[in-house]
């Protein structure tokens, strides 16, 4: 969800104002995904690299998270959304950690949409923590065991990864899980990413051929092969 700060700067507002507007866009996106039948939505809310931003912006983001949790969780619960936070919680304050646990507990029974929020998360951290967990247990490190130890092992790998803001990189997001994801880059800043932009991304995804290492001919239905 890239571009909150630039959205605010263009309007001569503090960067935190852009993050507040970004929360509004996120609220709408969650609802829109649920309406379109998306079962799992994973967003990058705060990366492990974001600690290097100006202290006032970091503290503003932490305060915004606390406010957003108290305001949004009741609505998400009513809409059948289950919240799951992903990331290293050890660096977070006790207050923030408690808020994450409360949000997860309040929505634990919901099944309409699983909403993963990556907070203090990094793809390299995820791989490293999975390997460390296996080593601590004395288990062999294989593709299968690493996959099971990842912080997102509770959901399938993402079909589509969308990045807003005009940048064309994944910035340490879902490095393991996105091995075969389709990538979509939008020039829209995140606060401007609306329902039409989401539909455009989904339509672009629907036009792609996903081969997973196979050839186009192997993907053709058996009836099409016979007709040929």
Q: Where are the alpha helices (DSSP H) in 79-165?
A: 94-106, 123-137, 143-149
Annotated active-site residue 50? The verdict is: yes
71: left (phi over 0), alpha (psi -120 to 50) or beta: alpha
Largest separation between any pair of C-alpha atoms in the chain: 65
For residue 47, the surrounding DSSP H or E stretch is: strand 40-47
The catalytically annotated residue of 4, 24, 50, 159 is 50
Answer for the pair 164, 2: CB distance below 8 angstroms, yes or no.
Answer: yes
Q: Is 172 a catalytic residue?
A: no
Whole-number CA gyration radius for the chain: 19
Active site residues: 2, 50
């Amino acid at each position: 969800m890239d571009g909150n700060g630039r959205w605010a700067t263009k309007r001569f507002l503090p960067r935190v104002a852009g993050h507040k507007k970004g929360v509004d866009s996120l609220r709408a996106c969650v609802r829109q995904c649920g309406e379109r039948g998306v079962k799992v939505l994973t967003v990058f809310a705060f990366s492990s690299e974001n600690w290097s931003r100006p202290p006032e912006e970091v503290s503003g983001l932490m305060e915004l998270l606390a406010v957003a949790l108290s305001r949004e969780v009741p609505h998400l619960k009513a809409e059948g959304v289950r919240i799951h936070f992903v990331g290293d919680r050890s660096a977070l304050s006790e207050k923030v950690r408690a808020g994450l646990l409360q949000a997860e507990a309040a929505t634990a029974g919901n099944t309409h949409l699983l909403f993963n929020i990556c907070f203090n998360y990094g793809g390299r951290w995820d791989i490293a923590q999975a390997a460390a967990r296996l080593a601590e247990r004395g288990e062999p490190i294989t593709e299968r065991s690493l996959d099971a130890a990842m912080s997102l092992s509770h959901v399938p790998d993402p079909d589509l990864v969308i990045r807003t803001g005009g940048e064309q990189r994944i910035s340490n997001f879902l490095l393991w899980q996105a091995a075969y994801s389709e990538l979509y880059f939008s020039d829209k800043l995140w606060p401007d990413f609306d329902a039409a932009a989401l539909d455009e991304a989904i339509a672009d995804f629907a036009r792609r051929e996903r081969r997973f290492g196979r050839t186009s001919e192997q993907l053709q239905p058996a009836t099409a092969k016979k007709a040929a």
